[in-house]
Amino acid sequence: MSFNQHSPLSELHPSRYDWSIRVRAQSIWESRSKEKNEFRGFNVILIDDSNVRIHAFIASNISHNYKDSLQEGALYRVYNFSVKRYNGDETYRAVRNSKHIYFNNDTKLIKDNGTGLRIHPQSFDFFALEDVQKMKKDNRFLIDVVGVIDVLPKKSLYQKDNAEKFNVKCTITDGRSYVNVTFFGQIGESLLDAMNTKSDEPVIMIIASAKIHEWKDEVSLTNFPATRVYLNSSHHSVRSIRKSLQDGTFYKTEMEIEDGAGLPKFTVKEILSLKEDYIDVCDCHLNVFNV
């Protein structure tokens, strides 16, 4: 069987529609209108054997043709679809790709038997946690992050619209920065359940397609319909963090240390007589003796 009979996702363009691709459906979620919660179609993140990702949309009027075949994690061959470029004003995009796929009445979705180049179970586009604060006003993208759970998930109850609701909060770190996470609904419950079954400590969490949320000047990551959570995954990023935890390099960061050249030096007796003008410029070297 030839491995190059399908086009790589990186080569797709809007000039034709008779495409053929071999992909894995990493995640699938419904699109619904905000006002009336009406079903608008299916969203799918597809990945190929080069770990390139693209978003695909299946409109509600043709969704019945594919509903029974759609399964997260399954391999597919997809034929005859449209490729469109983003206009630039779309928000909460799950993939940083300038193009996306649209199914039409001629699109065929066929499950693949797995013969061909390996396609990984997941592919991520990680952002550093220190970038979360900078992106709080940028709602173009959902983001992928990975980190160690530093503050364990805890369930909190609250009242909204005369009903009791809950969220699950925790904190993650990548060794340089910390970010708060707040999950609502079923994904929060699933996180609590999954934590009870994890034996490897500390737990390393990947959050795929997280939404950056700001509430009362506090920035956190929260869930969106596209959001998926993976604990202690076999992904290479998790193995890398686990290794750095074991060899003691995870929390070490590079810091510029000034040598204090040119600063005046004083004895302890002289320090005691200094005035407040020297508060920020005193460089102390002490020899401590046990007497």
In a domain, 285, yes or no: no
Residue-wise pLDDT tens digits, 204-225:
999 999 999 998 888 999 999 9
In a domain, 268, yes or no: no
In a domain, 107, yes or no: yes
Report whether 168 contacts 153 (CB < 8 A).
yes
pLDDT bucket at 173, cuts 50 / 70 / 90: very high
Rounded Cα distance, 208 and 202, in Å: 19
Co-location of 134 and 239 in the same domain: yes
The reported pLDDT for the residue numbered 268 is 63
Rounded Cα distance, 209 and 140, in Å: 12
- Residue 40: left (phi > 0), alpha (psi -120 to 50), or beta? alpha
Residue-wise pLDDT tens digits, 231-258:
999 999 999 999 999 999 998 644 333 4
Structural domain containing residue 168:
129-246
Q: Which two tokens stand for residue 234?
A: 């076999």
The reported pLDDT for the residue numbered 281 is 45
The CATH number of whichever domain residue 14 belongs to comes to 2.40.50.140
In a domain, 29, yes or no: yes
Co-location of 175 and 221 in the same domain: yes
In a domain, 2, yes or no: no
242 phi and psi, to 5 degrees? -60, -40
Q: Which residues pair with 75 in a beta bridge?
A: 24
Rounded Cα distance, 50 and 35, in Å: 39
Rounded (10°) CA dihedral 67, 18, 10, 14 = -100
Q: What is the DSSP letter of 62?
A: T
Co-location of 86 and 13 in the same domain: yes
Residue-wise pLDDT tens digits, 257-272:
344 444 455 566 666 6
In a domain, 182, yes or no: yes
Global confidence as pTM = 0.82
The reported pLDDT for the residue numbered 225 is 96
Count of domains forming the chain? 2
Comparing 275 with 211, which gets the higher pLDDT? 211
Q: What is the DSSP letter of 63?
A: G
138 contacts: CB under 8 Å, gap ≥ 6? 212
Q: Which two tokens stand for residue 288?
A: 């401590």
Report whether 59 contacts 103 (CB < 8 A).
yes
Report whether 179 contacts 186 (CB < 8 A).
no
In a domain, 176, yes or no: yes
In a domain, 141, yes or no: yes
